[in-house]
């Protein structure tokens, strides 16, 4: 199905199943521990041996020698694979750095070897006996140093964000110089780790030259293709499966070393092998969100009209890597006649930087939305009024392009009313509650919506059961449920009559999970397949498919009616199709909007910040399942609090690693940090997006939260911190004296 004109009335608009706050259909499996995650396919693979990774002990250099004799002689050891005996390996298209070191080492904890043994304990013990000698090479680990000579670059996150090297509209420098009120500030965000709950894990089983892989991956087709490329074998010989994923946040968009090393280990051992990365290895072995250094300049007239806006960002990555596209939202979020954005990319020998939830916008909004707060204060304006003053209904770079929907102003106003914004004291450092300095902050929320082709197959069985097959993944988001809702709505059956099968390369290629594009696109693909199936049903029943109504497990056309399952009496019916997108997404700018409101208390003595309450108001097209969408948004808000207050991969610039590489020292919020969250979805349908009239929302919930927290802290203390995370040490010396 080609989607190239705005969606008209369609069966989804009935909203009998879609749009309802439904519990997850996979909930009982998860709460009883019976949903098999990547490491848990015991039934399919009862005889797996265990792999354990040997990670590189240096960040950059060369493996001088590997001595595996002691490890080989250890109890239970079946095989040891290193680059020396792995055979020729390719590199996946989506991997910047190869997944097995040797002879060169590209980053700390890059895989050097896998040890396969009868038991997990034996593999782990033997891995400790592999002796590797290294020769360290020259390297650059310091972003600030490297950015001094880094070139301009364009780039894309590959999942919804991108920008050219330099993007100019009008004459920024002249307009900025002439502006009545100006801001010129720099902001920094640190490296972030995805820190998802389920570690990277895979089970590999060979049958002759055919490989079956269970893994934990957000994008089945990307992983499938890159595994084939890495192993140098035809894709058709690999089955690649991820039926359940315990979180990914972008870290599992790509093929990672657990899959490759499990496959190599299984081949060498002649046994299926399961391999999980231990927690201390994950931060450096896998990808991370790169740190940024951002400069923002805003010039405005005295009435608050922005006349000049510039956003420059620098980040670093491995050779051949890509920038963190932190300037992306600044192209679209606010009006202003004269604009300039640019990015620089430094070469660093830290682990590979790559996408993490809302790549680009997440760190970009952390900077831009502080800058807007600072500018509002300079103008003597309320920060909401300043944002509304500079709202635009068209792409500021290409005014002929309208936003398909843009309800930013309504989000801000609705949120202000619900949150009690009028009670905020505009003068910072004024509100006290016992020992707490109390402040409120606001930020816009913005994240682009991305169209992605997505295919599905839908079967109608003789028993009337509707079965959906697509390689879409459920990474904890609720994909199973919203796909069931979509098929139930389209086929006129209750959700209980729908079976959803996901996460296998045996199924049609979907959008996958990433860039908040999963829900809208994968359900649109299921919609397309259901349209095909409905035509077959009508045809089989001899009904006119154009006016057939699917409702209550029946099909009616004119004065004729039949049970849906009657259509399958002569044999199962199968509809398969793919949603594809025309130029609507170019003619219109598809984006999602919202507003984040935060109230914090800052301990007047210690400077520690504790969240008091937060609210997100989102306008993101049709909400397919308000319950799972809310879960996405509150999870994202929590992640935003983490980025504002605590999350930071600490770089040791001498040795080139993230030294706080476990969950004791890389802190993410715990329950006690998040006392109160509220989420409001404005009613919206976006007929330019897809037949579901839905857009993404899972990353919108993150974009802006960090700045809203930062602005609330400033409102509480009167001390502005522009360097995330805003830990107490960054403002302690400027807080009022207490002793």
* Residue 661 beta carbon to another protein: minimum distance, rounded to whole angstroms: 7
Reading phi first (left if > 0) and then psi (alpha if -120 to 50, else beta), residue 598 is in: beta
Tell which residue, 684, 706, 331, has the closest CA to residue 520.
684
Shorter beta-carbon distance to another protein: residue 29 or 674: 674
Nearest-angstrom CA–CA distance, 434 and 438: 10
Residue owning tokens 């039934």: 43
* Residue 176 beta carbon to another protein: minimum distance, rounded to whole angstroms: 35
124 binds another protein (CB under 8 A): yes
The single residue of 225, 647, 648, 699 carrying the catalytic annotation is 699
> Which of 467, 556, 557, 727 contacts another protein by CB under 8 A?
727
| CA 524-586-688 angle, 5° bins | 40
Active site residue 699: yes
DSSP state of 598: E
665 binds another protein (CB under 8 A): yes
201 within 8 A of 279, measured Cβ to Cβ? no
> Which of 660, 678, 682, 718 contacts another protein by CB under 8 A?
660
Token pair, residue 529, equals 């397949």
* Residue 273 beta carbon to another protein: minimum distance, rounded to whole angstroms: 19
Candidates 223-231, 257-265, 318-326, 721-729; binding stretch for another protein (CB under 8 A): 721-729
Beta strands in 190-318 (DSSP E): 201-207, 210-215, 238-241, 273-276, 292-300, 306-317
* Residue 116 beta carbon to another protein: minimum distance, rounded to whole angstroms: 17
Candidates 367-375, 463-471, 651-659, 689-697; binding stretch for another protein (CB under 8 A): 651-659
> Which of 435, 560, 586, 676 contacts another protein by CB under 8 A?
435
* Residue 122 beta carbon to another protein: minimum distance, rounded to whole angstroms: 9
DSSP state of 405: -
546: Cβ contacts below 8 Å, ≥ 6 apart: none
Nearest-angstrom CA–CA distance, 652 and 658: 6
> Which of 34, 570, 672, 683 contacts another protein by CB under 8 A?
672
57 binds another protein (CB under 8 A): yes
644 binds another protein (CB under 8 A): no
Token pair, residue 643, equals 């980025």
655 binds another protein (CB under 8 A): yes
* Residue 195 beta carbon to another protein: minimum distance, rounded to whole angstroms: 13
Burial class (CB in 10 A: 0-12, 13-18, 19+), 697: buried
Reading phi first (left if > 0) and then psi (alpha if -120 to 50, else beta), residue 434 is in: left
Tell which residue, 267, 346, 338, has the closest CA to residue 305.
338
Nearest-angstrom CA–CA distance, 385 and 227: 51
* Residue 426 beta carbon to another protein: minimum distance, rounded to whole angstroms: 27
70 binds another protein (CB under 8 A): no
Would you tell me how many other CB atoms lie within 10 Å of the CB of residue 432? 12
Candidates 188-196, 228-236, 490-498, 645-653; binding stretch for another protein (CB under 8 A): 645-653
432 binds another protein (CB under 8 A): no
Residue owning tokens 């760190």: 363
136 binds another protein (CB under 8 A): no
125 binds another protein (CB under 8 A): yes
Active site amino acids: 699
Binding footprint of another protein on the chain (CB under 8 A):
57-58, 75, 121, 124-125, 128, 278, 280, 435, 603, 605-608, 610, 645-646, 650-652, 654-655, 657, 659-662, 664-665, 667, 669-673, 725, 727-729, 732-733, 735, 738-739
């Amino acid at each position: 199905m080609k989607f190239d004109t705005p969606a008209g009335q369609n069966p989804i608009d009935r909203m009998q199943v879609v749009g309802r706050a439904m519990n997850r259909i996979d909930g009982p499996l998860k709460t009883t521990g019976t949903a098999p995650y990547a490491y848990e396919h015991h039934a399919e693979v009862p005889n797996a041996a265990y792999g354990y990774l040997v990670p590189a002990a240096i960040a950059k250099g060369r493996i001088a020698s590997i001595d595996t004799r002691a490890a080989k002689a250890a109890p239970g050891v079946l095989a040891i694979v290193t680059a020396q005996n792995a055979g020729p390996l390719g590199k996946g298209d989506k991997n910047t750095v190869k997944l097995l070191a040797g002879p060169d080492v590209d980053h700390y904890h890059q895989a050097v070897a896998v040890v396969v043994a009868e038991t997990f304990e034996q593999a782990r013990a033997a891995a400790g006996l592999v002796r590797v000698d290294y020769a360290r090479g020259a390297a650059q680990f310091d972003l600030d140093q490297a950015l001094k000579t880094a070139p301009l670059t364009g780039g894309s996150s590959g999942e919804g964000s991108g920008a050219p090297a330099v993007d100019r509209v009008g004459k920024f420098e002249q307009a900025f110089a002439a502006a009545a009120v100006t801001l010129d500030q720099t902001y920094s965000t640190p490296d972030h780790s995805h820190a998802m709950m389920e570690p990277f894990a895979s089970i590999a089983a060979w049958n002759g030259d055919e490989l079956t892989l269970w893994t934990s991956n957000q994008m089945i087709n990307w992983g499938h293709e890159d595994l084939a490329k890495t192993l140098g074998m035809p894709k058709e010989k690999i089955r690649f499966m991820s039926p359940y994923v315990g979180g990914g946040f972008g870290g599992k968009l790509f093929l990672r070393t657990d899959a490759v090393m499990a496959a190599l280990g299984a081949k060498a051992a002649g046994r299926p092998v399961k391999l999980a990365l231990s927690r201390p290895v994950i931060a450096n072995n896998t990808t991370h969100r790169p740190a940024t250094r951002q400069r923002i300049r805003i010039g405005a007239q005295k009435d608050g009209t922005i006349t000049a806006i510039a956003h420059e960002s620098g980040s670093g990555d491995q050779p051949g890597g890509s920038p963190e596209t932190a300037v992306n939202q600044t192209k679209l979020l606010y009006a202003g006649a004269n604009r300039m954005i640019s990015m620089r990319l430094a070469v660093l020998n830290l682990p590979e930087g790559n996408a993490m939830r809302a790549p680009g916008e997440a760190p970009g909004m952390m900077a831009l939305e502080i800058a807007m707060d600072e500018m509002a204060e300079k103008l003597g304006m309320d920060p909401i009024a300043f944002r509304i003053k500079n709202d635009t209904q068209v792409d500021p770079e290409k005014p002929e392009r309208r936003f398909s929907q843009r309800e930013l102003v309504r989000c801000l106003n609705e949120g202000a009313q619900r949150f009690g914004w009028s009670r905020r004291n505009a003068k910072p450092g004024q509100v006290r509650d016992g020992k707490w300095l109390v402040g409120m902050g606001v930020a816009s929320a913005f994240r682009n919506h991305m169209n992605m082709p997505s295919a599905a197959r839908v079967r109608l069985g003789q028993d009337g059961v509707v079965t959906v097959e697509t390689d879409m993944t459920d990474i904890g988001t609720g994909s199973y449920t919203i796909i069931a809702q979509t098929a139930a709505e389209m086929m006129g059956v209750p959700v209980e009559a729908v079976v959803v099968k996901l996460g296998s390369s045996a199924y049609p290629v979907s959008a996958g999970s990433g860039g908040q594009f999963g829900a809208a696109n994968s359900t649109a693909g299921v919609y397309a397949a259901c349209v095909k199936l409905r035509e077959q049903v009508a045809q089989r029943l001899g009904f006119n498919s154009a006016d057939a109504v699917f409702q209550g497990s029946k099909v009616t056309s004119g004065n004729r009616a039949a049970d849906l399952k009657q259509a399958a009496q002569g044999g199962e019916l199968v509809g398969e199709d793919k949603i594809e997108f025309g130029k609507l997404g170019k003619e219109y700018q598809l984006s999602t909007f919202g507003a984040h409101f935060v109230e914090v208390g800052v301990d007047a003595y210690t400077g520690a910040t504790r969240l008091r309450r937060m609210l997100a108001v989102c306008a993101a097209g049709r909400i397919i399942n308000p319950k799972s969408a809310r879960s996405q948004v509150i999870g994202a808000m929590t992640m935003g609090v983490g980025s504002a207050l605590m999350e930071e991969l600490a770089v040791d610039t001498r040795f080139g690693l993230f030294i706080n590489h476990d969950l004791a020292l890389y802190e993410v919020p715990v329950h006690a940090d998040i006392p109160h969250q509220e989420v409001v979805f404005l009613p919206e349908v976006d007929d330019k997006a897809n037949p579901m009239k839905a857009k993404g929302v899972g990353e919108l919930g993150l974009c802006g939260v960090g700045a809203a927290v930062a602005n609330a802290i400033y409102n509480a203390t009167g001390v502005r911190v522009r360097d995330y995370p805003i830990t107490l040490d960054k403002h302690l010396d400027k807080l009022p004296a207490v002793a």
